[in-house]
Amino acid sequence: MRSGRRKFLGQGLGGMAGVALGGLAFPGVGLAADAIKVGVLLDLSGPLQLFGTVKAQCLRLAAEEINANGGLLGRQIELVTYDTQSNNQLYGQYAQQLALRDRVAVVHGAVTSAAREVARPVLGRAKTLYMMNMINEGTEGACDRNMFITGPTPRQLLDNLIPYMMEKHGKKMYILAADYIFGQLSGQAAERICKEHGGQVVGFDLFPLDVDKFGPTISKIQSAKPDFVFNVFVGPAHGAFYGQWASAGMNKSIPMASHTIGDAGEQMRMPPEVSEGIVTVKNYYDELDTPASKQFIERFKKRFTDYGYVGSLGMADYQGMYLWAEAVRKADSVDREKVIKAFEAGIEIDGPSGKIASHPQTHYCTMDMYLAEVRNSRFEVLESWQQVPPVSPDDDSCNVLNMSL
């Protein structure tokens, strides 16, 4: 497996100076007639734009770097991008267009699991490979031989985060989560891990994505008296919770953990006293103090002058493009079945987050994970774990190798 590894961390943007900085559509100038078309489905407007824009930028940066370094199989990559406008219905419409009209080799896309579940069956029926580059709810929510997922699973995120909080603060946990597939299953995973370690869940509340008032919930938490709160909040509306929590003085008395905070750099925009002390686990932070991460952030800033924060969500797309490209090189083809077999034979790359490798059984990835705490509006890494698998060794709930296409 190691012999096929691609080193891309030192790649710059030489030769790309003529590319326009505005917009997100891939420029057509200079593309060969036989360019490899890569589809992108992301929310570039609407409430989820905050996440979708940086993910699209990361895909674009990766494609430009690959093109600047000779392309893929001697061909250039051409991104075909559709703005899904934070509207899940558009995922189905545009997925069909990418597969049947644009004839792309692969589609990268979706911010939420709900959007994924609209695009996934469409791409499966059209026999178009799908890369879901997002933090995910794990094999309980996604198990499909036509799909590869480059974001971390609850096992990778929570198997260390929840025990850390229990050991440091106590065994009583209160869960707050977004009311859709990802939030529900992430909350359930946290509950399971808590109980496995002898803990107790004293509350579990779910909230639609448009909820932005949490006064009654904060009162419930005060009455339940947990040792810490774990939240799976997603999107701008849910972000209001942190200010309301701090205004009630709760951030001084009850510790908080979350594996979703910081995905859009919100820890930098919050007043320091609001975000201070929140603990999280992710596979990437912009603050990661490694040469690979520092070089990547410099390249990103040079390419996109509106840099705010990349975070683990954008990094999943950047590394997702390189993982797919490595599978194409190994397959020596963009043929879907050959690329899938290359993934399942085992591929790995060295990325800004560390080594990331395909996990053939589940089509997820093995990756390095980092526990960090918000201090002075920045993530400070406190602990790390190398090559954490997406599922436990005895978990056979999803085995795509037994599936047919």
161-216 pLDDT per residue, tens: 999 999 999 999 999 999 988 899 899 999 999 999 999 999 999 999 999 999 99
* Same-domain check for residues 262 and 217: yes
Shared-domain flag, residues 148 and 201: no
- Give the residue among 132, 365, 153, 135 at the shortest CA–CA distance from 263: 135
- Same domain, residue pair 57 and 100: yes
- Same domain for 160 and 123: no
Q: What is the mean pLDDT of the chain?
A: 89
A 10 A CB-CB count for 23 gives 10
Q: What is the DSSP letter of 101?
A: I
Instruction: Write phi, then psi, for 153 (nearest 5 degrees).
Output: -100, 170
Does residue 369 sit within a domain? no
pLDDT bin (cut points 50, 70, 90) of residue 245 is very high
> Total structural domains in the chain?
2
Q: Kindly report the CATH number assigned to the domain that includes residue 210.
A: 3.40.50.2300
What pLDDT score was predicted for residue 8? Answer: 37
Q: What integer pLDDT is reported at residue 139 of this predicted model?
A: 61
Yes or no: say if 261 and 270 are a contact pair by the CB < 8 Å rule. Answer: no
The CA R_g of the chain, rounded to the nearest whole Å, is 21
pLDDT band at 150 (very low <50, low <70, confident <90, very high): very high
Residue 85 belongs to what domain range? Answer: 2-152+305-360
Q: Could you tell me if 224 and 141 lie in one domain?
A: no
Pair (225, 251) in one structural domain: yes
In a domain, 352, yes or no: yes
Q: Do 61 and 27 belong together in one domain?
A: yes
This prediction's pTM:
0.87
Residues 14 and 123 in one domain: yes
User: Would you state the pLDDT for residue 395?
Assistant: 75
How would residue 141 be classed by pLDDT, with cut points 50, 70 and 90?
Answer: low
**Are residues 22 and 83 both part of a single domain?**
yes
Are residues 137 and 30 part of one domain?
yes
